[in-house]
Amino acid sequence: MNPLDAQCNRDRNDAICVSQLKSAQEIDRGILSEKPDVKIFLPFRFYVYRPEELFQPNTYNRFLVQQPNLSHPFHLHGYGFSVVGIGRSPDMTVKKINLKHALDLDRRGLLNRQYNLPPTKDTIAVPNNGYVVLRFRADNPGFWLFHCHFLFHIVIGMNLILQVGTNADLPPVPPGFPTCGDHTPPIPIN
Ligand SMILES: [Cu+2]
């Protein structure tokens, strides 16, 4: 499942991409219209430290060791989404895909998309140096976390909040719902 080279826009007999699976259930056809209501590009990248920034005499620093060819298992709270496409740039000379290149591929119709019963997931591995196209109908109001599921990537910022609707769209807080400070023990003051 999900080959490391992320070549998903053709049939292959050594691997299957998630985007090539078919949903066993009927899906919301409205989200499969060619032009979605809202299209958001979410690029991410690493800041790569220079060794002299990290290694200084008589100091201690924690740092993240870069792993090559690491996919990012992105998880969305609040929704299941349809995985419409996964891939890498058809331009093999592209060493690192970026927003500008992704926009260019999209404009030229070269971001892989398939609308034949795409599978529903709540987590998808975004290929290293690649992309995923996902769709969902934003009908569940709230503040929803969307994040890489590697803890060490969450702590360096590979996460965001999707706000759907406003506070007025949220159901009322249940009576007696805990608030900050409810669980702190009493501190005796002599
Ligand atoms: Cu990650």
Query: 152 CA to middle of ligand 1, Å?
Result: 8
Q: What pLDDT, on a 0 to 100 scale, did the predictor assign at position 181? A: 84
- Ramachandran category for residue 21: left, alpha or beta (phi over 0 → left; psi -120 to 50 → alpha): beta
Query: 110 CA to middle of ligand 1, Å?
Result: 24
Query: 138 CA to middle of ligand 1, Å?
Result: 24
8 A C-beta contact, residue 2 and residue 18: yes
Q: What pLDDT, on a 0 to 100 scale, did the predictor assign at position 88? A: 92
Query: 177 CA to middle of ligand 1, Å?
Result: 34
Q: What is the mean pLDDT of each run of 10 residues along the chain (190 residues)?
A: 83 88 93 91 86 81 70 96 94 90 95 93 94 96 97 92 96 91 82
Contacts of 98 (CB under 8 A, 6+ apart): 43, 45
Q: What pLDDT, on a 0 to 100 scale, did the predictor assign at position 68? A: 67
Q: What pLDDT, on a 0 to 100 scale, did the predictor assign at position 182? A: 85
The rounded distance, in Å, linking the Cα atoms of 5 and 89 is 11
Query: 75 CA to middle of ligand 1, Å?
Result: 10
Query: 161 CA to middle of ligand 1, Å?
Result: 16
- Beginning with the edge strand found earlier in the chain, give each strand of the sheet holding 123-126 in spatial order: 123-126, 72-76, 142-148, 159-164
8 A C-beta contact, residue 159 and residue 123: no
Query: 178 CA to middle of ligand 1, Å?
Result: 33
- What's the whole-model pTM score? 0.83
The rounded distance, in Å, linking the Cα atoms of 132 and 175 is 41
Tell me the CATH class for 18-164.
mainly beta
Query: 154 CA to middle of ligand 1, Å?
Result: 7
Query: 1 CA to middle of ligand 1, Å?
Result: 18
The rounded distance, in Å, linking the Cα atoms of 112 and 126 is 14
Domain boundaries, the chain: 18-164
**Ion ligand 1, residues whose Cβ is below 5 A away:** 72, 148, 150, 153
Query: 68 CA to middle of ligand 1, Å?
Result: 12
The rounded distance, in Å, linking the Cα atoms of 162 and 142 is 8
8 A C-beta contact, residue 70 and residue 128: yes
Token digits of residue 41: 């590009």
Query: 185 CA to middle of ligand 1, Å?
Result: 37
CA dihedral 146→151→155→160, nearest 10 degrees, is 0
